[in-house]
Amino acid sequence: MLRVENIDLSYGESICLRGVSLEADPGSITCVLGRNGVGKSSLMRSIVGLERIRGGKIVWEGKDVSAMAASERARAGIGYVPQGREIFPFLTVQENLETALAAAPRGSKVPDEIFELFPILKQFLGRRGGDLSGGQQQQLAIGRALTARPRLLILDEPTEGIQPNIIKDIARVIRLLAKERGMAVVLVEQYFEFARELADRIAVMVRGEVALGGPVDSLDNEAVRKLLTV
């Protein structure tokens, strides 16, 4: 299980996260919502080790990982699909997937299951990442994260700028990873409707803080919507 406990993050003088707490259990989906610039990505980057927090701690599978390097956290089972996908445009699909093997158990190869989840990746193995559509790149980014065989998967706005039919595919895969593979999933989303369909728990952020959170059924939908509208 993941426990983010009361973390603070600053960029120089500017405070970005203030006393943020979040939980994610194996087999469940935690969705982080919030308007632009409230700190969602910064929170994800803190969890995966790309930002150094100032206070609080991040506990994964009972161990405080707050001081661990990102590469170590990846080897400890924390997988990450960044906002904007960040695939390598000049590497092939195969090579993009293989970049994640460094974080996988020694001697692993790209798991066949990735091609069952995303058949398009098998078909385009030799194609360059930059030549894929946005939706295909998103599938590649998720496939790359899964190559390291994570037990926690962090996805930062995986549906941003993607056509509805691929969004459906991605939602189906996220649900399967949590419900059938028992992964803990943390998902950042802009759209409450999408989040509500997938999430077990929701946290709504406002200006660097979690303003509202809890099991999805316990939340007042109108109160959530209010925090999300400009």
Query: Which residues of this protein are in contact with Mg ion, per CB under 5 A?
Result: 40-41, 83
Question: What is the rounded CA–CA span in Å between residue 65 and residue 67?
Answer: 6
Minimum gap (Å) between residue 218 Cβ and Mg ion: 26
Minimum gap (Å) between residue 124 Cβ and Mg ion: 27
Q: Are 31 and 203 in contact (CB under 8 A)?
A: yes
Pick the closer one to ligand ATP by CB: 120 or 199.
199
Q: By CB under 6 A, is residue 40 in contact with ligand ATP?
A: yes
Give the interface segment with ligand ATP, choosing from 36-44, 95-103, 106-114, 217-225 (CB under 6 A): 36-44
Question: What is the rounded CA–CA span in Å between residue 72 and residue 59?
Answer: 14
- CA-wise closest residue to 40 among 145, 146, 154: 154
Site string for ligand ATP, 77-96 (x = CB under 6 A): ------x-------------
3-class SS of residue 103:
helix
Pick the closer one to Mg ion by CB: 85 or 147.
85
How many residues sit in the footprint of ligand ATP (CB under 6 A)? Answer: 11
Pick the closer one to Mg ion by CB: 119 or 161.
161
Instruction: Give the DSSP letter of residue 200.
Output: S
Minimum gap (Å) between residue 163 Cβ and ligand ATP: 20
46 contact choice in Mg ion, ligand ATP, none (CB below 5 to 8 Å, kind-dependent): none
Q: Which amino acid is at 221?
A: N
Helix ranges restricted to H, 130-163? 134-147
Minimum gap (Å) between residue 51 Cβ and ligand ATP: 8
CB atoms within 10 A of CB 179: 14
Pick the closer one to ligand ATP by CB: 13 or 220.
13
Q: Which helix (H) or strand (E) holds 221?
A: helix 221-228
Residue among 28, 42, 96, 138 that touches ligand ATP (CB under 6 A): 42
Pairing mode, if any, of strands 2-11 and 14-24? antiparallel
Residue 186 has, within 13 A of its CA and on its CB side, a CA count of 32
- Site residues for ligand ATP, window 95-154 (CB under 6 A)? none
The residue ranges that bind ligand ATP (CB under 6 A) are 11, 16, 34, 36-42, 83
